Amino acid sequence: MKYLYIIRHAKAEASTSQINDHDRKLTNKGIERAKNLNSWLKNKTPHIEGLLTSSSLRTLQTTDIICNGMIPPIKKIVDKKLYAASEENLIDYISFLDDNLTTIGIVGHQPSLQELAFILVASYAEGYDKVLNSNFSTSNAILILLNIKRWDQIAPRVGILADYFDSKIK
């Protein structure tokens, strides 16, 4: 069994012509919600061993907040290929991960994260059947249990949506 946390970056400043999308920073609200996500993740098992993150500033800031105080420390894997990656690209990327990692997280962007979840999930833990039909807001997270032994076995419909964090609910 492998475990995948799909995490949307925290709320960032609005896109403007003066700021490149890649360089948008977190807002104060985004920082607070990312801290709430960090608290939620600290109490979850299995613990994230490796965290894949897009190279954008907002995902890097979100990743730093998530990793703050985690025991054991989370291995961060930053890759510019994850910025604006499609769900197919994400699956391909995950398929080459080290099989010694059992639990990973990916911090990235919409719409590819929600589409990734749609592709992977075949069933739902009780009460989570409507999660993928709702808005996957910033700082939200989904835990998918993957019925695979190796990352190269990742494929459509191998997962169970097991848990969900809504950053807007305290």
* Cβ atoms within 10 Å of 38's Cβ, excluding its own: 18
In whole angstroms, give the CA distance from residue 63 to residue 65. Answer: 5
**Could you tell me if residue 170 is inside a domain?**
no
**What is the per-residue pLDDT across 91-111, written as a single tens digit (0 to 9) for each?**
999 999 999 999 999 999 999
**Could you tell me if residue 26 is inside a domain?**
yes
In whole angstroms, give the CA distance from residue 105 to residue 108. Answer: 10
**What is the per-residue pLDDT across 46-89, written as a single tens digit (0 to 9) for each?**
999 999 999 999 999 999 999 999 999 999 999 999 999 999 99
In whole angstroms, give the CA distance from residue 105 to residue 13. Answer: 23
What CATH number is associated with residue 135? 3.40.50.1240
135, exposed or middle or buried, with CB in 10 Å at 0-12, 13-18, 19+?
exposed
Total domains in the chain come to 1
Instruction: Supply the range of the domain harboring residue 20.
Output: 2-165
**Could you tell me if residue 154 is inside a domain?**
yes
**Could you tell me if residue 113 is inside a domain?**
yes
Cβ–Cβ < 8 Å for 62, 33: no
